[in-house]
């Protein structure tokens, strides 16, 4: 029984940083776009009459 066994994973995640940075950037861009739209729509609204 001299079988060659492949090494078992060490449990450490490597790589993937471009995806993490991209997701972080998209999150902040979406939040900024949402807040900008909310502010612009809030300013464009005519004043309420009593």
Judge whether residue 41 has pLDDT over 90. no
Percentage of the chain beyond pLDDT 70 is 92
- Extents of the domains making up the chain: 15-44
Average pLDDT score over residue span 28-40: 94
Under DSSP, the state recorded for 21 is H
Global pTM value: 0.57
Measured between alpha carbons, how far is residue 17 from residues 14, 21, 31, 40 in Å? 9, 6, 21, 34
Token pair recorded at residue 35: 């807040």
């Amino acid at each position: 029984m001299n079988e060659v066994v492949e090494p078992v994973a060490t449990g450490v995640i490597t790589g993937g940083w471009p995806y993490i940075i991209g997701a972080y950037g998209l999150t902040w861009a979406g939040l900024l776009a949402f807040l900008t739209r909310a502010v612009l729509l809030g300013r464009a609204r005519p004043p309420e009459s009593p």
